[in-house]
Amino acid sequence: MSKHTFKVIIYSDYSIIVTILKIFVVFFRYIRNIDGSFGFQREVFEMLKEKTKHMEVWERHGCLLVDECKVSKTKKFDKNLMEFVGFIDLVHHTPQKMENSLGDHALVIMFQPFAGHGLALACFLSGGDISGEILSKIMLECIILCENAGLYIDVNTSDGAIWNRKMWT
């Protein structure tokens, strides 16, 4: 949007700008309450619970998508959290032997309703591929959290990697 277009909007209807600013204020208020660390964030599922109260039952059905991708090993100090980030973080599923190692894989879990837009539920930082045993515990925890929030998980989807296949056995 050019400066000229922005001036036209301001001169033509001041209420549009006020409405847009109100939307940003509410949006940033929600974002400020969400902890950006790894794992399942309680606030995300509380907001989902509120949202699902106003949804039809058929809108709450969907699938969980899980995938891993390789990321660069890096360690940084987060001045907001006052801690170093970049270490393997599978929350309470982290094996003791991996606790002080740098992560090089991100595991992302998303909910995709059959009708509507998807939503990222959680992200974990691991070292290499997550074992099928740990992955199955994480997915079971995710299903329980989703269903407690009012969503219905009908399908779990992952690629055919060997560690993902071990999750199902």
**pLDDT tens profile 118-151:** 888 999 988 887 888 888 899 999 999 999 999 9
Cut 0.75: pTM above it: no
pLDDT for 17 equals: 61
* Whole-angstrom distance, CA of residue 94 vs CA of residue 91: 6
Compute the CA torsion angle 83, 84, 88, 91 (nearest 10 deg). Answer: 10
* Strand 76-78 versus strand 83-85 pairing type: antiparallel
Q: Which two tokens stand for residue 58?
A: 């058929």
Alpha-carbon radius of gyration of the chain: 20
Region for 19 from its dihedrals, namely left if φ exceeds 0, alpha if ψ lies in -120 to 50, beta otherwise: alpha
Q: Which two tokens stand for residue 64?
A: 């969980």
Q: Which two tokens stand for residue 25?
A: 């204020």
pLDDT for 63 equals: 95
Q: Is 101 exposed, middle or buried (0-12, 13-18, 19+ CB in 10 A)?
A: middle
Other beta carbons within 10 angstroms of residue 87's beta carbon come to: 18
* Whole-angstrom distance, CA of residue 145 vs CA of residue 153: 10
Q: From first to last of its 169 residues, what are the pLDDT tens digits of the chain?
A: 545 444 545 555 556 666 666 776 776 776 666 666 788 988 889 989 999 999 999 999 999 999 888 888 888 887 877 888 888 888 888 888 888 888 888 899 999 999 888 888 999 988 887 888 888 899 999 999 999 999 999 999 888 777 777 777 6
Q: Which two tokens stand for residue 82?
A: 């006052």
pLDDT for 93 equals: 82
> Which residues are paired to 112 by β-bridges?
63
pLDDT for 8 equals: 47
